[in-house]
């Protein structure tokens, strides 16, 4: 079993390495890179206002005074800055466009691989806690939970979601492990990790409440020692320490102790039909949990009949369902806010070619896109032909990355609670592989925009003046698969 675990971890690292090979092509990937480059090159961490149109408020930024700073948590920004600094010191010269592919790979790989390994280890450990006695089955359950959830879609892409999922899973593991035989250090660590989950996004604070409520209701009481009080005290102390670190980091970086998602937010402007379409896409449609998380549905269906002896079983199940509901609502609201911000950006700024030269990111001017269809097509052919530039898309379509922590847990519960007959095993494993395939597809499109190839082909298919993703999701998925296969297995037949 030791070899099986080692092989699984190595395969996971290889998978992350392959998926980390991508260019930054959306605001949440480009902005931290642009800020880190300016930071390292001595130009400050605020974004260059020449990068966007005059008076245009882009998405994914916080306005501090007259400057724009990426709307990412301080740990993510520090990760970008540290990798850029190390890379800059290694090459010994100012950064330019030729450094983008390798620099981006190191940022993505180093920011994803540790969290992917920790998440896999937490899911394997949780499977044993909830009743999987065979080590081989626990490893399979961990793979199933990651493949049958949103997790594969975030391998190789720096974001707060994979760390949040890992921290939440380990919080649940430590809380359940210490329910029967509580240890002060273990519960303090659980609270500390739950607090850190909120460092990437305020939705991570759900797990602080989850653990505290579980211990308060389900912990075995001891009249003499009051074990409940001791357990809660250790947990709350750990959470308080991490929250103090979080608030201090936000204050030092942004000048406000509030989490970055609460700073300088714009009012939501969203018609009711669009709001309904967001709910539809997040729950059922493209990017929804049925598309990307087939085992989540199994988990929600089977969790009520979960039988293994789990500490605080009833409360655990109740809290997991409640966390799912809270994070679903939170994720939908987050998508509405992002789309509302995107609507404020003029269409001519939705797709911008940018380059990095002498340590500074700036726009590339190759001529306008006015004219007929052939002129527009020729313009994007010139963009794709340039190897020293990359495209920035102004925003992203809908999706539920906030739901990732609870998605992997529900997927694990769903897998482990199934009593598998031969027919059930076939269909369930088919669902896992389907979820993994869709996750791998979306790993090339975590925010909906696959690559510059889709920008070009999207124009041909949609015949719009500016190619904006989201109109042809099926073709988008097929194109992303074709692009990735062509990159991984080049041939004389299909090349890009």
Burial 181-213 (b: 16+ CB within 10 A, else e): ebeeebbbbbbbbbbbbbbbbbbbbbbbebbbb
Per residue in 53-91, pLDDT (tens digit) is: 556 777 778 888 778 888 888 888 889 999 999 999 999
The pLDDT of residue 416 is 78
The pLDDT of residue 286 is 57
The pLDDT of residue 44 is 79
Segment of 13-27, 33-47, 239-253 carrying the highest mean pLDDT:
239-253
pLDDT at 464 over 50: no
Q: Which of 455, 438, 396 is nearest to 288 (CA)?
A: 438
For residues 6 and 456, the model is more confident at 6
Q: Which residue has the tokens 């204050």?
A: 251
Contact (CB, 8 A) for 258 and 250: yes
Contact (CB, 8 A) for 465 and 368: no
Segment of 128-142, 163-177, 204-218, 361-375 carrying the highest mean pLDDT:
163-177
The Cα–Cα gap between 415 and 410 comes to 9
Please report which confidence band the pLDDT of residue 438 belongs to, taking 50, 70 and 90 as the band edges.
Answer: low
The pLDDT of residue 345 is 74
Burial 101-110 (b: 16+ CB within 10 A, else e): eebbbbbbbb
Q: How big is the CA angle at 330 (ends 327 and 332), to the nearest 5 degrees?
A: 110
Please report which confidence band the pLDDT of residue 4 belongs to, taking 50, 70 and 90 as the band edges.
Answer: confident
Per residue in 240-283, pLDDT (tens digit) is: 999 898 888 888 888 888 888 888 877 777 777 778 878 877 78
The Cα–Cα gap between 127 and 12 comes to 18
**What is the pTM (predicted TM-score) of this model?**
0.83
Using N-to-C axis directions, what is the helix angle for 184-200 and 74-91, rounded to 10°? Answer: 80
Of the listed ranges 16-25, 137-146, 242-251, 315-324, the least confidently predicted one is: 16-25
| Span 190-209, average pLDDT | 89
The Cα–Cα gap between 406 and 330 comes to 12
Contact (CB, 8 A) for 444 and 450: yes
The Cα–Cα gap between 65 and 53 comes to 18
Pairing of the two strands 351-357 and 360-363:
antiparallel
């Amino acid at each position: 079993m030791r070899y099986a675990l080692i092989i699984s971890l190595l395969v996971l690292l290889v998978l992350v390495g392959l998926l980390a090979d991508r260019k930054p092509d959306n605001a949440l990937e480009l902005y931290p890179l642009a800020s880190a480059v300016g930071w390292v090159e001595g130009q400050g961490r605020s974004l260059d206002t020449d990068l966007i149109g005059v008076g245009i408020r882009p998405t994914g930024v916080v306005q501090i005074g007259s400057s724009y700073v990426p709307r990412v948590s301080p740990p993510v920004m520090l990760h970008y800055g540290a990798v850029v600094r190390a890379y800059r010191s290694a090459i010994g010269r100012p950064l330019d466009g030729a450094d983008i592919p390798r620099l981006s790979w190191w940022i993505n790989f180093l920011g994803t691989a540790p969290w992917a390994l920790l998440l896999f280890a937490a899911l394997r450990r949780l499977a044993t806690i909830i009743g999987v006695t065979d080590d081989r089955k626990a490893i399979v359950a961990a793979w199933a939970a990651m493949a049958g959830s949103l997790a594969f879609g975030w391998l190789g892409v720096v974001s707060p979601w994979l760390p949040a999922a890992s921290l939440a899973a380990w919080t649940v593991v430590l809380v359940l492990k210490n329910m029967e035989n509580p240890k002060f250090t273990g519960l303090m660590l659980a609270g500390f990790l739950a607090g850190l989950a909120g460092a990437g996004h305020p939705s991570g604070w759900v797990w602080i409440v989850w653990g505290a409520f579980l211990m308060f209701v389900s912990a075995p009481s001891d009249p003499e020692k009051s074990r409940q009080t001791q357990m809660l005290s250790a947990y709350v102390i750990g959470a308080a320490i991490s929250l103090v670190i979080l608030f201090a980091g936000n204050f030092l970086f942004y000048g406000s102790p509030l989490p970055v998602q609460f700073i300088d937010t714009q009012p939501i402007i969203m018609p009711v039909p669009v709001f309904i379409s967001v709910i539809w896409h997040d729950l059922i449609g493209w990017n929804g949990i049925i598309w990307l998380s087939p085992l989540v549905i199994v988990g929600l269906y089977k969790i009520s009949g979960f039988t293994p002896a789990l500490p605080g079983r009833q409360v655990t199940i109740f809290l997991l369902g409640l966390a799912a509901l809270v994070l679903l609502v939170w994720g939908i609201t987050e998508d509405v806010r992002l789309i509302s911000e995107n609507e404020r950006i003029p269409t001519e700024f939705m797709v911008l070619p940018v380059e990095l030269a002498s340590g500074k990111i700036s726009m590339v001017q190759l001529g306008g896109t006015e004219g007929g269809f052939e002129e527009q097509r020729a313009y994007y052919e010139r963009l794709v032909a340039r190897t020293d530039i990359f495209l920035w898309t102004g925003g992203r379509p809908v999706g539920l990355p906030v739901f990732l922590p609870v998605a992997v847990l529900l997927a694990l519960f769903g897998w482990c609670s199934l009593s598998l007959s031969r027919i059930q095993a076939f269909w369930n494993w088919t669902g896992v592989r389907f979820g993994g395939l869709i996750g791998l597809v979306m790993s090339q499109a975590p925010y909906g925009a696959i690559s510059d190839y889709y920008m070009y082909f999207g124009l041909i298919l949609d015949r719009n003046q500016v190619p904006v993703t989201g109109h042809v999701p099926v073709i988008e998925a097929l194109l992303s698969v074709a692009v990735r296969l062509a990159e991984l297995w080049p041939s004389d037949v299909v090349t890009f």
